[in-house]
């Protein structure tokens, strides 16, 4: 049985392409790990949840971080390797929050949990009047960062979100 040269060439080209993408994914994963170790070694105080995935012929970076410098360094290192990727990494605070990226705890003690659900492990607590950074909103919970740096989820009923001007007004009263 004769194999047509065109079929063989296509097969070889596809093999080379797949091998290159696999190598690029390994390189990107190594870079992701090094950036995470540098900027977010402790997930309790810094977010850098990034992964690379392959969709058809494209490599896509997805996830989120609250550290602009980490995202910039990641992209610089990948670009220096001449690897083409699509950047879908969300930079927190989430744009959906608008300018309300601050919060004030409005309960005597707010439970701040490791996941956005009530039975989740308690990460820390915040007292009435504590000012927090608001990073995103999901399923009735805000992902917040407390003054001591902890990042975790607070029930939406326990936080009043405000913009910088309202925060300043509140602090000055």
Convert the pLDDT of each residue in 53-97 to its tens digit: 998 889 999 999 999 999 999 999 999 999 999 999 999 999 999
Among 24, 137, 31, residue whose Cα is nearest residue 90: 137
pLDDT tens, position by position, 97-106: 999 999 999 9
The model carries a pTM of: 0.84
pLDDT tens, position by position, 33-53: 999 999 999 999 999 999 999
pLDDT tens, position by position, 153-170: 999 999 999 999 999 999
pLDDT for residue 36: 97
Could you give the CA distance from residue 116 to residue 13 in angstroms, rounded to a whole number?
46
pLDDT for residue 172: 92
Q: Listing from the earlier edge strand, what are the strands of the sheet with 102-105?
A: 122-127, 109-113, 151-155, 141-145, 131-138, 102-105, 159-162
Could you give all domains of the chain from N- to C-terminal order, each with its CATH number? 5-91 (3.30.1340.30), 96-172 (2.30.30.40)
8 Å CB contact between 111 and 119: no
Whether pLDDT at 15 is above 90: no
């Amino acid at each position: 049985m004769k194999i047509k040269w065109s079929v063989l060439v296509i097969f070889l080209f596809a093999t080379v392409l797949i091998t290159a993408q696999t190598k690029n994914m390994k390189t990107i994963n190594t870079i992701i790990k090094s950036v995470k170790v540098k900027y977010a070694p402790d997930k309790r105080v810094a977010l850098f949840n990034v992964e690379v995935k392959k969709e058809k012929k494209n490599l896509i970076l997805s996830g989120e971080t609250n550290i602009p410098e980490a995202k910039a360094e990641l992209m610089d290192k990948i670009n220096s390797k001449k690897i083409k990727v699509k950047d879908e990494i969300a930079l927190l605070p989430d744009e959906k929050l608008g300018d309300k990226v601050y919060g004030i705890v409005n309960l005597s003690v707010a439970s701040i949990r490791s996941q956005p659900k009530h039975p989740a492990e308690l990460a820390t607590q915040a007292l009435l009047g504590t000012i927090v950074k608001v990073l995103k909103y999901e399923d009735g919970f805000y992902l917040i960062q407390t003054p001591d740096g902890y990042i975790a989820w607070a029930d939406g009923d326990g936080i009043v979100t405000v913009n910088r001007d309202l925060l300043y007004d509140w602090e000055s009263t």
